[in-house]
Structure 1
Amino acid sequence: MTSTPYDSGGRDPGTGRDETPEERADRRWGELLQELRVAQTGVQILFGFLLAVVFQPRFAELSDTDRIIYVVTVMLGAATVAALIGPVSYHRLVAGRRLKPQTVTWAARLTVLGLVLLVCTMCSTLLLILRVALHDSLALVLVAGMALWFLVCWFVIPARALARSTREREK
């Protein structure tokens, strides 16, 4: 007989919560949807502004380099939108097929990918704006500093908290 981490009621005593795997998946899905709502709104607004830039009169004055940066930025924005809306599509296509835990796992992965793409989109957008505003290499330095700030806020701080929590549990 193999041992299972779940008690006879299907509840996982290792999570610190009294919930079945299905209840846990439902809770995690709800939390993920709240996170996606925040990210999706900002990304959709940013992407809308990016799409409008090409129709502005000054767009014709951009250098070839700035036009390339613009195209890369729009493509990154589109990829970000796809990754952050992807969990909704995934859920809709597999709903009712008892795949909620797998759906939550894949949706979380798409969300992290979307956040990475969002960092790239934000940095590319900043590079374009600062190149137009400053006309010098200071733009690259400012974008590098902001990229570092995004990475610290979005990835380093949570990774440190996770590492600290893991170390405390192992004691």
Structure 2
Amino acid sequence: MSRESERERWQRNFADLLQELRVAQTGVQILFAFLLTLPFSAGFERTTELQRDVYIVALLAASAAAALIIAPVAFHRALFRQGRKPELVRYAHRMATWGLALMLVAMVSSVFLITDFLLDQAVAAVLSGVAAVWFVTFWIAMPLIRHRWVDEDTDEESADEQEGARPGPA
């Protein structure tokens, strides 16, 4: 089995990152579009000052998240064919990470905004807290915990690669 060169590895890392950003970009753009239309909806005038403040936080966080999640594409255009893929991947990773953090803020703020408009403020606070814990669990805690796990399948595959591919049972 041939090993990939360092250049191929950076290229693959960038392609993987772009695939991940496509998913996040769609989500943040849909949320941002929803937030852009909200003030023009019937009933928005009934929002409280707190709800409008939370709306502004959600809108600005979604806007900033969209900018950061889309930024690697613009960064790639600026560095295109300059042989700076490692730099591009490192910066794109940081942009994506901060973009996801801001997307988390936008999502939880949006949950609070809607639930506070529909329900009692205490219930809205609890539901938003649950949403925050949910996002943190799956976007931060699980990947960090999983990063430290030893995967038996991966260990077996690594051993097979080192010894050469062994045929399986017939």
So what's the TM-score if we normalise by structure 2?
A: 0.85
Is 1:61 the counterpart of 2:46? The answer is yes
Is 1:86 the counterpart of 2:71? The answer is yes
Amino acid at match of 1:150: F
Three-state SS of the structure 2 residue aligned to 1:96 is coil
Return the alpha-carbon distance in structure 2 between the equivalents of residues 17 and 103 of structure 1: 25
Amino acid at match of 1:131: D
Deviation at 1:139, TM superposition (A): 0.6
State the identity as a percent: 37
Mark the runs of 5 or more structure 2 residues left unpaired by the alignment.
Answer: 156-170
Return the alpha-carbon distance in structure 2 between the equivalents of residues 17 and 117 of structure 1: 40
Return the alpha-carbon distance in structure 2 between the equivalents of residues 72 and 158 of structure 1: 27
Alignment: residue pair count? 153
Greater relative contact order: 1 or 2 (C-alpha under 8 angstroms, separation 6 or more)? 2
Return the alpha-carbon distance in structure 2 between the equivalents of residues 95 and 28 of structure 1: 16
Amino acid at match of 2:46: E
Is 1:152 the counterpart of 2:137? The answer is yes
Deviation at 1:115, TM superposition (A): 1.0
Partner of 1:141: 126
Return the alpha-carbon distance in structure 2 between the equivalents of residues 26 and 18 of structure 1: 14
Question: Can you list the C-alpha shifts for 1:81-133, whole angstroms capped at 9, x where unaligned?
Answer: 01100111111111111101110111011111111111111000000000001
Mark the runs of 5 or more structure 1 residues left unpaired by the alignment.
Answer: 1-15
Three-state SS of the structure 1 residue aligned to 2:148 is helix
> What RMSD, in angstroms, separates the aligned Cα atoms of the two structures?
1.8
Return the alpha-carbon distance in structure 2 between the equivalents of residues 58 and 50 of structure 1: 14
Amino acid at match of 2:103: L
So what's the TM-score if we normalise by structure 1?
A: 0.85
Work out whether residues 21 and 101 of structure 1, in 8 Å CA contact, stay in contact via their aligned partners in 2: no
Amino acid at match of 2:16: E
Deviates more, 1:122-131 or 1:133-142: 133-142
Three-state SS of the structure 2 residue aligned to 1:54 is helix
Return the alpha-carbon distance in structure 2 between the equivalents of residues 63 and 132 of structure 1: 8
Amino acid at match of 1:50: L
Three-state SS of the structure 2 residue aligned to 1:19 is coil
Return the alpha-carbon distance in structure 2 between the equivalents of residues 136 and 108 of structure 1: 37
Deviation at 1:66, TM superposition (A): 0.8
